[in-house]
Structure 1
């Protein structure tokens, strides 16, 4: 039985599905935007996922949506129905969502999470998409949890676990679609310049 987390198993399987897809084409989807993290610091954020589409335009496979934060090691993973097998599955029946983790996240009102079933984030678009394959070029990102701690001690020094600031108003993110391996298949890198401390 595999001990890899569900997200790693999905991402490892995706290239195999693409290779077996014959005439299928793989696409990357990504968007970079600027907002505040929970500490009130202005940061860049990168949201990304991949799809595999047939010549008819039918999407046969998708990866989860990942949200990265500049200067942070924490990655938020949003999944849809059928992806992963954790306690957040109940919420995925109605959309692309992320659930917080006890000890790592706090609810919107600052309380510790009792289990991994608390809905902490959701993604949709102007048409109310509830599956990753249906997401359009303009996404709505809702965040309703806070990191329990933003700085942790590691063997290499302090590490950052912060992520985007919770908000009652959705973040609006423009997303680009590019064919995998093409000239535009280059999701922007998050600069580390602002992360350097004396």
Structure 2
């Protein structure tokens, strides 16, 4: 008898789901910042960055998809609880073992690191009961720290400062 009651309750629970109770994979969620890399000498041409590494400032680990790769674009996750996020973007990243491959204590990083600061306003937008809220980033600007040895020449917006709601087209172009 208990099995029948449990089975009936399970069937009742499953049939009471509404369309809004399941968040579809196609539903737009919080978008990452999309930056495309271009050749500064030929500004219509995409240009790869070799041995590229992206890492959040204050974070010891690189972003999952951007650890010593060749790429001509990057999708950066922005902090949703703050109005600013910083990243270290490395060009020609490499770890030099200092001639002692078994001793990691004397290893050092080579290549060129630029730090970018992304500033923005955060707006929470209700999506649905199943999906909850997503964050939209407004008034986004990017500044490059000048350490005297920048590999990034400049960064230019492509969206006329429209809010960042999706990651299908580049929001900024980075020229190097």
- State the TM-score, normalizing by the size of structure 1: 0.30
- State the TM-score, normalizing by the size of structure 2: 0.33
